[in-house]
Structure 1
Amino acid sequence: MALRVLLSLLLLFCLPLRAAELLLYTEEGPPLNFTRDGHLTGYAVELVQALQQRTGDQVRIELVPWSRGYALARDKANVGLFSMALIAEREGLFQWVGPFMLSHNRFYTRKGSSLRIESLDQAKGLRIALPRQWYTLQYLNAQGFRDIFTVSSALDMASLFSKGRTDVLIVSDISLPMLLAEVDMSPEDVEGQFSFLQHQSYLGFSLTTDPELVVRWQTALDDMKRDGSFGRIYQRWFSHLPMHESLMQTQPSPHE
């Protein structure tokens, strides 16, 4: 009996005491995070799963509309949201792990359209839809855009564009092909116009999440960048797109 108790205690102390149970929200946003045949996949999903293995934390990923995930990820401990642009307006609202992607946002019109957009001013007054809480919406509002129609998801935005209910589609270069495919369109059906914004993508944890957990995840990501596993995942998804040097930035290691 005493031996069994001793063995139980030894096993208890051998468990990773720092492991946490995390709930991470994401949206339907290919190729970073999306569903295929009923399963979550994507570059960012694969990266999060690799980080989970390295940290030992238990992770549940839920696919929700962006606006809902954004609201939920701000309030509770051990909750996060990806993939999220790190911009000044959000910087103090989350604890950040990244960067892991660089994107450029552009206005797209239908092929053959007479519209030509070479500045933000030329886009004002056009019919535009954007998901609620997208940084692009916040940015354009700050630039004086009015009456932008808000939707729940990027898919809803693309659907309105495909039906001719908006004049332009505003999306990142990396998301365009797969997003158009969701509404039976292709990059050949659109024309790129003015490129106006670039951003780096991060995983954002709520402010009530233990900062040590956030450091643990950032350290795991930095280690992946140093040992090459980060680059291998990137190449699997973006072999056509050279990695920008800014994505390899890391936090100084404790031994540096």
Structure 2
Amino acid sequence: MRKFFLIALTVLLAALLLVGCGGSQPKKIVVGLDDNFPPMGFRDEKNNIIGFDVDMAKEATKRLGMAVEFKPIDWSSKEAELSSKRVDVLWNGLTITEKRKENILFTKPYMENKQVIIVTANSKVKGKADLAGKAVGVQDGSSSVDAITKEAAILKSFKELKKYPDNVAALLDLKAGRIEALVVDEIVGRYYIAKKPGDYAVLSDHFGAEEYGVGLRKDDKELLTKLQKALDEMKQDGTSAKISKQWFGENIVK
């Protein structure tokens, strides 16, 4: 009887330990993001957080058997949010830079964001050289302005660099012929023109590129390995391409 009691007690303690450790409950990953960055992460008319990166994170965490929570943060304080463990990953069009690598562990790049040139579908502008003497639009204060400024000779050739409060207004002016090209983040540009198929074209020429990755804490190497495996599998089986086409009209996953 005593032996049976000890065995039963051991089984009970083991069960309690499993429950205490989360047992069958999947671990939750908290994704830090800017919820005002369409199409990567933003709120729809019902205030739900949606976007390309949101769909990618949902699919990856599902493959890991983990729950996911999307937590809007002050994007300018993203590294502090990550290091303080208020979020587990940063996944919202996060550019990989050497400086950020000092404090953040990155996945391999999953997307390359170029500063693309958008023209109307019937435009005679086929490359940067054709922008000479043309009115070119750009969103004021965007990274596109910096990208164009770095190519001083090309900028000098423009008839005008017209700055807009947002890219929607610039696209309307492009369609109306008030400007002849628009320089914009590829992810943003493709998102908007996908809604107007046949109206616009994206040129192969561009004003530079940057790579996006998922950011983790430096000591989360095990999670990085698992997450990278999920991202690799998503790319190989076409899931990433499918998500990309839904948001951008074509596959722009790296």
Q: What displacement does 1:25 show?
A: 0.3
Q: What displacement does 1:24 show?
A: 2.0
Q: Per the alignment, do residues 198 and 56 of structure 1 end up closer, same or farther by CA in structure 2, a change over 3 Å counting? A: same
1:218 aligns with 2:228: yes
1:51 aligns with 2:60: yes
Q: What displacement does 1:241 show?
A: 3.9
**Partners in 2 of 1:9 and 1:120 — Cα distance?**
69
Q: Deviations over 1:71-129 (max 9, x none)?
A: 22222223413223435565546322243334543223568999896249959996632
Q: Which runs of 5+ in 1 are unaligned?
A: 248-256
TM-score of the superposed pair, with normalisation by structure 1: 0.60
Q: What displacement does 1:49 show?
A: 0.8
Which structure: larger Rg? Answer: 2
**Partners in 2 of 1:214 and 1:150 — Cα distance?**
40
Amino acid aligned to 2:54: V
Matches within 5 A, 1:60-75: 60-62=69-71, 68-69=74-75, 71-75=76-80
Correspondence for 1:97: 107
**Partners in 2 of 1:130 and 1:220 — Cα distance?**
37
| 1:82 match: secondary structure | coil
Q: Which runs of 5+ in 2 are unaligned?
A: 1-7
Q: What displacement does 1:149 show?
A: 9.8
Correspondence for 2:213: 202
The RMSD of aligned alpha carbons is: 4.8
Aligned length: 226
Correspondence for 1:23: 31
Amino acid aligned to 1:29: P
Report if aligned partners of 1:24, 1:81 keep a CA contact under 8 Å in 2.
Answer: yes
**Partners in 1 of 2:78 and 2:191 — Cα distance?**
26
Correspondence for 1:234: 241
Correspondence for 1:40: 49
Q: What displacement does 1:62 show?
A: 4.0
Q: What displacement does 1:158 show?
A: 1.2
Matches within 5 A, 1:1-256: 7-13=15-21, 15=23, 19=27, 21-26=29-34, 27-30=36-39, 32-38=40-46, 39-62=48-71, 68-69=74-75, 71-76=76-81, 77=83, 78-87=88-97, 91-92=101-102, 94-109=104-119, 118-119=128-129, 122=132, 128-129=138-139, 134=143, 136=144, 139-143=147-151, 157-162=166-171, 164=173, 169-173=182-186, 175-180=188-193, 186=196, 189-190=199-200, 192=202, 194-205=205-216, 207=217, 210-225=220-235, 228=237, 231-235=238-242, 237-238=244-245, 241=250, 247=254
Amino acid aligned to 2:189: L
TM-score of the superposed pair, with normalisation by structure 2: 0.60
